[in-house]
Amino acid sequence: MSWRCDLTGKKPLVGHKVSHSNIKTKRRFLPNLRNVTLISDTLGRRIRLRVSANALKTVDHRGGLDAFLLKAKDDELAPRVLELKRQIVKKREAT
The fold of the 13-94 domain, in CATH, is Ribosomal Protein L24e; Chain: T; (2.30.170)
Which pLDDT does position 82 carry in this prediction?
A: 95
What are the sequence ranges of the domains in the chain? 13-94
Instruction: Please state whether 61 falls in left (phi above 0), alpha (psi between -120 and 50) or beta.
Output: alpha
Which pLDDT does position 8 carry in this prediction?
A: 92
Which pLDDT does position 2 carry in this prediction?
A: 84
Instruction: Please state whether 35 falls in left (phi above 0), alpha (psi between -120 and 50) or beta.
Output: beta
CA–CA separation, 57 vs 38, rounded Å?
12
User: Could you list the pLDDT tens digit for every one of the 95 residues in the chain?
Assistant: 689 999 999 999 999 999 999 999 999 999 999 999 999 999 999 999 999 999 999 999 999 999 999 999 998 899 999 999 999 999 999 87
